[in-house]
Amino acid sequence: MIKNTLKMWPKIILFGDSHTQRSFDPNNGCWGALLANKFQRVCDIVPRGFSGYNTRWCKMIMPKIFAQFKAEEIACVTILLGSNDSVPASSVTGQHVPVDEYRKNLVAMLNHLTSKGIDKDKIILITPPHMHQTIFKAWSFEQNRPIIPETWEKDLIKYVDACRSVAKEMNISLLDLYKIFMAVKDNNEKLFNDGLHLSRDGGQLLYDNLLPLITERVVRITGKPLTDQSMQYPYWRDVDVNNPEKSLLRP
């Protein structure tokens, strides 16, 4: 059991764009909320998602975001970026980042984390999922949002490949979300709410595949399997009702 005098609870930091920002939205992916439920009383899940952001902007804010944490308290960091970078250059949104720069930005962010003492074994790089441009176009029209040029869906795979290559070259764990989603052959559209952002089904699939990778890292930092015995403070049945201080305030 983790000592009650632990100065800080381990942190699982989720860093990325709207796929991460919406990870606690009950009407969307909800994968962050599923992680928070799984690891409550073991680790804090810290969502740091920024809807609409690309790697250029995230690289700028990362130092300030991670300055709030100590390297030794971090159990895991996930990075999920690329959907916005891959928006075609002709789009009026201004989010486009050339694939070569996208790749360099990922490398720079990973190097920043390791330079701050965060072991690269704690980092999980997640490829962006695919998307359904026809569905997202219809949704954008209904919402009076900018219509993204037709090449977006086709261009996205270049960014997925870049993410894969960065993970391989830097020896960083990779969750190939694009491949996982594409393997769903029947009614693949159900994985998305609007053709781009994850539905509850999509969030569940992401969670199911991410959980073993995060669990491995949590076990590493806590030194205990993920059971009731790994919870911060004892399970209620283990509290000595005649002398609760002995159970709750012990070193």
Rounded to an integer, what distance in angstroms lies between the CA atom of residue 209 and that of residue 213? 8
Q: Which is the catalytic residue, given 17, 197, 199, 230?
A: 197
Q: Return the HEC string of 36-80.
A: HHHHCCCCEEEEEECCCCCHHHHHHHHHHHHCCCCHHHEEEEEEE
Is 132 among the catalytic positions? no
Say how far apart CA 49 and CA 13 lie, in whole Å.
10
Question: Is residue 177 a contact partner of residue 210, using CB atoms and an 8 Å limit?
Answer: no
Among candidate residues 18, 83, 86, 230, the one labeled active-site is 18
Asked whether 13 and 78 are in contact (CB, 8 A), the reply is yes
String of DSSP letters for 149-195: PTTHHHHHHHHHHHHHHHHHHHT-EEE-HHHHHHT--SSGGGGBSSS
Active-site residue, 18 included:
yes
Q: Is 228 a catalytic residue?
A: no
Burial class (CB in 10 A: 0-12, 13-18, 19+), 220: middle
Helix 99-115 vs helix 152-170: angle between axes, to the nearest 10 degrees? 40
Active-site choice (96, 176, 194, 199): 194
Amino acid (one-letter) located at 73: E
Amino acid at 247: S
Residues with catalytic annotation? 18, 194, 197
